[in-house]
Chain A
Amino acid sequence: MPARDIEAAAAAIVERSQERFRTYRQEVFKDTDRLFAYLMMGQWLFGIALALTLSPYAWEGKVKTTHAHVWAAAVLGGLLSSLPIALAFLRPGWVVTRHVIAFAQMLWSALLIHLTGGRIETHFHVFGSLGFLTAYRDWPVLITATLVVAAEHLIRGLLWPESVYGITNPEWWRFLEHAFWVAFANSFLAVICVRGVKDLRIMAERSAELEALSEGEWRKSSVLDRAEPVAVAAGV
Chain B
Amino acid sequence: MATPSTPPGDGSQKGFDRIAIPTPDGQTRSLTKTEFENLPLSERVKLLMGGGLQFFRGDKPITAREALRGA
Interfacial residues, chain A to chain B (CB-CB below 8 A): 1, 6-7, 9-11, 13-14, 17, 205-206, 208-210, 212-213, 215-217, 219-220
Contacts and interface: CB of A to CB of B under 8 A. Distances in A.
A210 B65 contact: yes
27 contacts: A6-B46, A6-B49, A7-B46, A10-B45, A10-B49, A11-B42, A14-B41, A14-B42, A14-B45, A206-B68, A206-B71, A208-B44, A209-B45, A209-B48, A209-B68, A210-B65, A212-B44, A212-B48, A212-B49, A213-B48, A213-B49, A213-B64, A213-B68, A216-B51, A217-B1, A217-B51, A220-B51
B15 to A, nearest CB: 11
B45 A13 contact: yes
Nearest to B51: A216
B51 to A, nearest CB: 5
Contacts of B45: 10, 13-14, 208-209, 212
Given A6-B50, A9-B49, A217-B1, A210 B42 contact: no
B69 interface: yes
Nearest to A205: B41
Given A10-B42, A11-B42, A14-B41, A210 B68 contact: yes
Secondary structure at the B interface, as helix, strand, loop or mixed, is helix
Interface in B38-71: 41-42, 44-46, 48-51, 64-65, 68-69, 71
A14 B49 CA distance: 12
Contact of B46 (A10, A17, A205): A10
B46 to A, nearest CB: 5
Contacts of A208: 41, 44-45
Interface string B14-48: 00000000000000000000000000011011101
